[in-house]
Amino acid sequence: MRKKTVFSIGFLVMLLVLVFLTGTAITQEKVLMETRGPQGEEPTWYSDVSLTPEEIQKVKEGNYKAAYLMHTSSDFTNALMAGAKDLFNELGIELVVTTDAAMDPTKQKTDVETALALKP
C-alpha cells in the first residue's frame, strides 16, 4: 500500500510540475494551453466542432470507408472506438477494418498494410 501511495503522490507532483512548466492553466471547465498548428492555427475545442445538415448529407453521399487501427486495447481505446463506430454509422461511413496491434510494432505494420489493401 505504501509503495502505491508514494507512486501516486510522485505522479501527482510530476503532473503539477509539468502543468506549471508548460504554462498550462487548469480551470473547472477547460484546460487552456498555448498550442498552435504548423501555420499558427488556433486550437478548437471538440465541443465547438459541428457539421451542418448539408455537410452531413454530403458525407453520407460520399460512400466513404474508414479503417480504425489501434496500437493497444484498453477501456479508454475501446470507448474511443465505440464513439467512432457510432459516428461512422450516423454518417454512413463503412468501417472496413478494426485492429489491435497489442503493442507489437510488427503486427501494427502488418495491420496498416492490410488496412491499406482494403482501400478505406
pLDDT digits (tens, 9 = 90+) for 21-79: 555 555 545 555 578 888 988 888 889 999 999 999 999 999 999 999 999 999 999 99
The pLDDT confidence band at residue 9, using thresholds 50, 70 and 90, is low
Structural domain 50-120, CATH architecture: 3-Layer(aba) Sandwich (3.40)
Q: Is the pLDDT of residue 6 over 50?
A: no
Percent of residues, the chain, with pLDDT higher than 90: 62
Q: Please measure the distance between the N-terminal and C-terminal CA atoms of the chain and give it in whole angstroms.
A: 48
Could you tell me the residue ranges of all domains in the chain? Answer: 1-48, 50-120
45-50-51 Cα angle (round to 5): 155
Q: Is the pLDDT of residue 92 over 70?
A: yes
Q: Which three cell numbers stand for residue 101?
A: 496491434
Q: What is the pLDDT of residue 5?
A: 47
Mean pLDDT value across residues 89-102: 96
